[in-house]
Structure 1
Amino acid sequence: MKKFGLVSSAVLMMAGATAASADEISVVCSAEQDWCDLMVAAFEAENTDTDVLMVRKSTGETLAQIRAEAGNPKIDVWWGGTGDPHLIAAEEGLTQASGVDTSDLLGWAQNMATISEGKAIGIYAGALAMAYNSEILDEKDIAPPACWADLEDPRFVGEIQVANPNSSGTAYTELATFVQLFGEDEAYTKLAAIGQNVNSYTKSGSAPSKAAARGETGVSIGFMHDMVNLAAQGFPLVAVAPCEGTGYEVGAVSVIEGARNFEGAKAWVEFALRADIQSRAPETGSYQVPSNSNAEVAPESPDLASIKLIDYDFATYGSSETRARLLARWDSDVGDPNPQQ
């Protein structure tokens, strides 16, 4: 039975209840579902004797699961999602070095491996941005945002949707970006002001832009490649690189410490870093910039060189201590009045 796109968390837990065989890999994917499915299908097509048990979870949920299962992991490899939680898992000894060759990767991807001592390797990059539904803002005669500061304006009351940084790597990247751009105290002041205009905090980082595309909210915060994908599908969504500058993610892949199928997990990492495999991401509408220097970059992919990117400090904001402190202050100073279970 082929499991990609169909496997549930319960199936993955059942698979982990018994010792994994050499021809079975348990993967948690933190990218978009279609891309997860493509990766599983492509891997199984090349490795016909191997079954991939895959489930999609956000980075925050995955980090929590890995922590809970430390010493008796049900997962072999974690693929996709923002790099900060991957670095935290590496710091806490929850992942291990795969020993794969990274010489074909771009500098920012190799930097991820260097910071984590080979435990987390960069697979793609994407810039944080704002997006707005042009039809909604035109109908309500609301001037679109150009800067982060615009989102504090009362004209956007009830119009903004963003994810919760406790569950979403995208939203944690936003939190860390604000702290690096504005300083910690001002960052929380701004986030609290924006929070007065937020109609909902979602679990998933890509959910707000999907909601904006469907006309369920006027403005979203997320990654630009997700916004570009939605616009390419015909939705009236316009992506904006904030005038003050913005942060970015380096998505990562990590092998879990104590993985029951280390060789299979290593094979997955090698597969995920290949140029031909990374070049297939646009087939699923995934327009991140690939990490392999020989991979094809889709014309729809945002040009990172044209965006005012901050010098994002992955070492600092990918540490357990920093993340815990920032999230605790977010809960107290900003908070989600209606947290999703």
Structure 2
Amino acid sequence: MNKRFIKGTMAALVSMLATNAFAATEVTVYTAFESDILAKYKNAFEKTNPDIEINWVRDSTGIMTAKLLAEKNNPQAEVVWGLAGSSMALLKEEGILKTYSPKGLDELRSELNDPQSTQAWYGNDAFFNAICFNEIVAQQQNLPKPTSWEDLTKPVYKGHIAMPNPASSGTGYMQVSAWLQSMGDNQGWAYMKDLHSNIAHYTHSGSKPCVQAGMGEVAIGISMASRGAKLKTQGAPLDVITPAGIGWESEAVGIVKVSDAAKRVVDWSISKEANELYVEMYPVVGHKDVEASVANFPNVQQKMAKMDFARMGNERADVLKTWSDKFDGKSEAK
């Protein structure tokens, strides 16, 4: 056999073995984070952890939650990072998320985390609802400024309000849950019946009611606080109002398959470094020492409803069926 061939083959084999020896460990991470931020988070993590590579699997919250539940007996994900707290609570109850206490836990805001003593998920950020109120339309229509949820049931607002359909929008569902949890089931459903009388339509997007209010299509949109702040900063004639008991959710992280690499992903995801990336998009993040000033963003932390995320996850199907049976007639066409 040609000695040059043997020498070349041996060199290639040595090179292949060396490459394999230093190959990064791949960790499959399921997420509902927005697609345009995944590369930033992946690159920052891998710069600090060059021996681990993140393989993202991304879809919307509902689809990703259903996928994890369907894979319960044959899990494909190792980490879930960037999924709603109510979904994480449901996944934990189903035994999909494993108990783990990450490094740096004492530096987090406890209200965004799994409230149970055997914690399995931890909040990365939080997003909130608000009332987007068009001041010009209100002046033209002689509408007073609402300051509470109860105000929105007054006859003066009939036909002037839009809100998200909770069966289509997580933003809508978290406000319906907030009403039910803060008012109680009977009073909560009674409130929604009164509010329904004043609703012009329900949208299939969480941000759309605020966009419609900003454009003057309605006077009032129950919607995302962050969208209201952004539109106001861009010049929309909006007042972003936060009544007591606003709905909110955390986006959170947890382990499905326990390994050293999976633990390191979770540890980094709650770190100050990671939170400094989250805060570029979300004014409220998990780390106590990371804050950002967002123009026109309301003081939401004083108005947050006390949310039971486990209840939100468990009751979701029943609540949405009841809501749809009662109120879906005013939903926009899909």
Does TM-score exceed 0.5, indicating one fold? yes
Identify the TM-score tier after normalising by the shorter chain. 0.7 to 0.9
**1:41 CA drift (Å):** 4.7
Per-residue CA deviation, residues 6-55 of structure 1 (Å, 9 max, x unaligned), is xxxxxxxxxxxxxxx9335343224x555556434533554566254353
| Corresponding position of 2:251 | 252
Q: Of the candidates 24, 28, 31, which is equivalent to residue 31 of structure 2? A: 28
The residue matched to 2:328 in structure 1 has which SS? coil
Q: Of the candidates 317, 322, 334, which is equivalent to residue 311 of structure 2? A: 317
Distance 1:209 1:97, change over 3 A: farther
Q: 5+ unaligned residues in a row in structure 2: which ranges?
A: 1-23
Greater helix fraction, Structure 1 or Structure 2 = 2
**Aligned counterparts of 1:126 and 1:190: Cα–Cα separation in 2:** 23
**Aligned counterparts of 1:227 and 1:211: Cα–Cα separation in 2:** 11
TM score, norm. by length of structure 2 = 0.76
| Corresponding position of 2:170 | 169
**Aligned counterparts of 2:156 and 2:96: Cα–Cα separation in 1:** 45
Contact 2:177-2:312 within 8 A present in 1 as well:
no
Q: Of the candidates 274, 277, 280, which is equivalent to residue 277 of structure 1? A: 274
Contact 1:25-1:76 within 8 A present in 2 as well:
yes
**1:200 CA drift (Å):** 4.0
Contact 1:115-1:315 within 8 A present in 2 as well:
no
Per-residue CA deviation, residues 240-261 of structure 1 (Å, 9 max, x unaligned), is 122xx214434132336358xx
**Aligned counterparts of 1:88 and 1:100: Cα–Cα separation in 2:** 20
User: Which amino acid in the other structure matches residue 303 of structure 1?
Assistant: N
- Alpha-carbon RMSD across the aligned residues, in angstroms, is 3.3
**Aligned counterparts of 1:116 and 1:86: Cα–Cα separation in 2:** 15
| Corresponding position of 1:198 | 199
Distance 1:135 1:299, change over 3 A: same
**Aligned counterparts of 1:207 and 1:36: Cα–Cα separation in 2:** 24
**Aligned counterparts of 2:59 and 2:89: Cα–Cα separation in 1:** 19
How many correspondences in the alignment?
308
Q: Of the candidates 82, 88, 91, which is equivalent to residue 90 of structure 2? A: 88
TM score, norm. by length of structure 1 = 0.74
| Aligned 1:1-341 pairs, distance under 5 A | 22-23=25-26, 25-30=28-33, 32=34, 34-36=36-38, 38-47=40-49, 50-57=53-60, 59-101=61-103, 102-109=105-112, 112-115=113-116, 117-242=118-243, 245-255=244-254, 257-258=256-257, 264-284=261-281, 286-287=282-283, 289-298=284-293, 300=295, 302-304=298-300, 307-310=302-305, 312-314=306-308, 317-320=311-314, 322-335=315-328, 337-338=330-331
**Aligned counterparts of 1:56 and 1:332: Cα–Cα separation in 2:** 28
* Larger Rg over CA atoms: 2
Identity of aligned residues (%): 23
The residue matched to 1:50 in structure 2 has which SS? strand
**Aligned counterparts of 2:167 and 2:255: Cα–Cα separation in 1:** 21
Distance 1:282 1:293, change over 3 A: closer
